Amino acid sequence: MSQSPTHGIGRQGLDPAFAADEARKSELLLAAQLLRAQGQPESAAAKLAEAATIEQRLGDQCAAVRLRDKGWVHQFSAASCWAQAGNFYQAITLCDELLAQADLPERLHNRVRDYAYQLRTRRAQWYADLSLATAGAES
């Protein structure tokens, strides 16, 4: 693999299995998008959760070979996948872990911070809606 790319993020120390996992994750994301368009949100969520798991593993592998930038991208993608699968807790946890990185680039830091804020806002709204639905069912 290339040691110092002209553009993009380095891949030194990553094996062909890593590339295969990246391809599998991309296939899962495309399948989830198609399933959502077909009105199958539960099947889409399952694909997104599987993609999130792969993204987390890819991020960990990048960290192990000191490819921090690439690892951060995979961790943020994992957070997005978890959120789309409906797991706000895991998504926010991953965002908070990224924000705890002292050397996270400012642009990515701001993007992750804003995304985590949106997730917390949506989760709070979901809780409020759930409370109203529960209260209505008890009446």
Calpha distance 64→99 (Å, rounded):
19
pLDDT digits (tens, 9 = 90+) for 71-100: 999 999 999 999 999 999 999 999 999 999
Calpha distance 78→81 (Å, rounded):
5
Provide the CB-side half-sphere exposure for 112 (13 A, CA): 25
CA nearest to 76, candidates 62, 4, 47, 3? 62
Model confidence at 107: pLDDT above 70: yes
Calpha distance 76→66 (Å, rounded):
17
pLDDT of residue 134: 77
Neighbours of 76 (CB within 10 A): 21
pLDDT digits (tens, 9 = 90+) for 21-72: 999 999 999 999 999 999 999 999 999 999 999 999 999 999 999 999 999 9
Model confidence at 6: pLDDT above 70: no
